[in-house]
Structure 1
Amino acid sequence: MTDPLHHVRAGVLDVAYERRGDPDGPPVVLLHGFPYDVRSFDRVTLPEADVIVPYLRGYGPTRFLDAGTVRSGQQAALAHDLLTLIDALGLDRPVVAGYDWGGRAACLVAALWPDRVRGLVTANGYNVQDIAGSDAPTHPASERRLWYQYYLHGERGVRGLTRYRAEYARLLWSEWSPTWSFTDAEFAATAPSFDNADYVDVVVHSYRHRFGLVDGDPAYAATEDAIAKLPRIDVPTIVLDGEHDTVRPPQPRSAHERKFSSLVDYRVLDAEHNVPQEAPEEFARAVADLCRPS
């Protein structure tokens, strides 16, 4: 049984979210990645916290308020979505935690507006895109892992994603977490989120913008300029890596310390890419550790 669904107007979105735990507890925002949704956090149990779990733009019941808004998937848009959600719900310096796209939003809010958050839990480390350096080729083994991004650079990929949303996502789940034995029921619980009318546009824009192939939404130009400086993150942070992640393999602690000036801890988990769904107790423990009074 899932938690009741709530809605709030936040920035350019009507955000659909679930709320769990203790409404009088320390606030926490949990942010899912691509191509997943809020079900990633079903077993991340934080009974003493006020937990907000939103659907990102383009997913599930979250909707744009204006038909004319750019269906952007750029990282600055995700950051502003989280910031305006914090404002709309009146959250007092929440711990923000996520992975993949959600981890990117969490990292960027922590980097650009550190006074707005208490702490950060990020799976995959410094999840910020260096767009200026994106045209530099990497080792062929790394390039092969990014096929799903390059596929969307052409119109054939757009048509393919439109037609095979669930099949595309399920293939990525299997490739990124090859030993995670998710069930048909677990995948089926998330798959309807890909039927959002804006899903394809947001996803395609994301995987084109990060390579400098399309312009971003002008509303976020100043934020993109700030992100381009690749700012260090100074809020208390716990970095989680999936030991067997095939997308973002673990890095040594020293690599993370260069990006996080207040690295509380670095933990390598027996997990792959979808860390909260594969290692929910460890993910919850990291969040709870940052919720405790310092």
Structure 2
Amino acid sequence: MDKIVLPEDIDQRRRHLVGAAAMTLAAAQLGVASVAHGQQGPASPAMPAAKAGTHTSFTTLKQVKAGVLDIGYAEAGPAKGPVALLLHGWPYDIHSYVDVAPLLAAAGYRVIVPYARGYGSTRFLSNDTMRNGQPSALAVDTIAMMDALKIDKATIGGFDWGARTADILAALWPQRCKAIVSVSGYLIGSQAAGKMPLPPKAELQWWYQFYFATERGKAGYDKYRHDFAKLIWQLASPKWNFDDATFDRSAAAFENPDHVDIAIHNYRWRLGLADGEAKYDEYERKLAEAPVIAVPTITMEGDANGAPHPEPGAYAKKFSGKYAHRLIEGGIGHNLPQEAPEAFAKAMIDVDHL
């Protein structure tokens, strides 16, 4: 899950944006409340219905050497369709999009769903490469994959770590992003921000971050990674009644030999307790300035997200282009694409038409 540090200059007047006029009949049927600013694009194409849990696997799994990795990924849809790139978070995997991908494929998209470094079949090409989980490294992985697959531009969607990566891509490489969908909004941060103390109740929500800062925590996560991840799922999505089979499909991805090192380094780096790599310093310097995102964006939030997250008004001004925010109702938690696949797929299609 992603730690949120809100900008000090938050415009509280935008916390409750007026959205009734922007709500469409289709969105209402999906339990979506939407608010928007900017010019509206043409109506999006119709999309077939699919409930969460309809699919249990991907038809096509592939590998591609890109940058420092051999990346495992799922692919669906026409090879020459516009690309929809879907990015997962921690502790989740590509199965967060197992019901989203068929919807987008049916709408004509070429859907790419990669395992992040440290997950599933993604492997480092060299044993000597640092097992680095810092945010800009994951973004560079995505650009390298796009280059390897000869993808010039994509509509990018993500939640948790994946939403942060989507935000970073849109901020640093806007020419590669047609549009983005970001669950929980603007997640770009910095080590300096991560060092700032939060009020006690907010710090309590990050108990595992403090645990991971210790060697006992690293050993504990390694030993109990299955139980640990399941607990996070339950806390982050308290109304999602996922079954063991659903969890186990994703938990298999955590058996990656680099998973623990990547996860631990990510959280330690955020707190300034671990160094990154010098080759990413310039990217992190730019991200520390909290750059505004100009590409078309839809942000989303579940109405039962148990993970820490800001109010939409806290980050709305960070998106300067065409923009809409959607609240997904019906007990939807942190893993929004898997819990509400129709709503997420609709947002991916709609953002191309803002």
Q: Would you call these one fold, judging by a TM-score over 0.5?
A: yes
Q: 4+ residue stretches of structure 1 with deviation over 4 A?
A: none
Q: CA deviation at 1:148?
A: 1.2
Q: Which residue matches 1:261?
A: 320
Q: Which runs of 5+ in 2 are unaligned?
A: 1-56
Separation in 2, partners of 1:4, 1:20: 7
2:200 aligned with 1:140: yes
Separation in 2, partners of 1:21, 1:248: 34
SS of aligned partner of 1:201 = helix
Alignment of 1:152-167 (within 5 A): 152-167=212-227
Amino acid at match of 2:347: A
Kindly indicate whether the alpha-carbon contact (under 8 Å) linking 2:303 and 2:328 is maintained by their aligned counterparts in 1: yes
2:69 aligned with 1:13: yes
Separation in 2, partners of 1:94, 1:62: 21
Q: Which residue matches 1:280?
A: 341
Q: Percent identity?
A: 44
Alignment of 1:29-178 (within 5 A): 29-44=85-100, 45-46=103-104, 47=106, 48-178=108-238
Q: CA deviation at 1:86?
A: 1.1
Kindly indicate whether the alpha-carbon contact (under 8 Å) linking 1:32 and 1:102 is maintained by their aligned counterparts in 2: yes
Kindly indicate whether the alpha-carbon contact (under 8 Å) linking 2:205 and 2:308 is maintained by their aligned counterparts in 1: no
Q: Could you list the per-position Cα deviations for residues 15-69 of structure 1 after superposition, in whole angstroms to 9, with x for gaps in the alignment?
A: 0001012222111100001000000001112121000000000000000011111
Separation in 1, partners of 2:261, 2:322: 36
Q: Taking CA–CA contacts closer than 8 Å with sequence separation of 6 or more, which of the two structures ends up with the larger relative contact order? A: 2
SS of aligned partner of 1:71 = coil
Separation in 2, partners of 1:14, 1:161: 25
SS of aligned partner of 2:333 = coil
Q: Which residue matches 2:12?
A: none
Q: CA deviation at 1:236?
A: 0.4
Q: CA deviation at 1:212?
A: 0.7
Q: How many residues align?
A: 292
* Higher alpha-carbon Rg: 2
Q: Which residue matches 1:290?
A: 351
Amino acid at match of 1:234: A
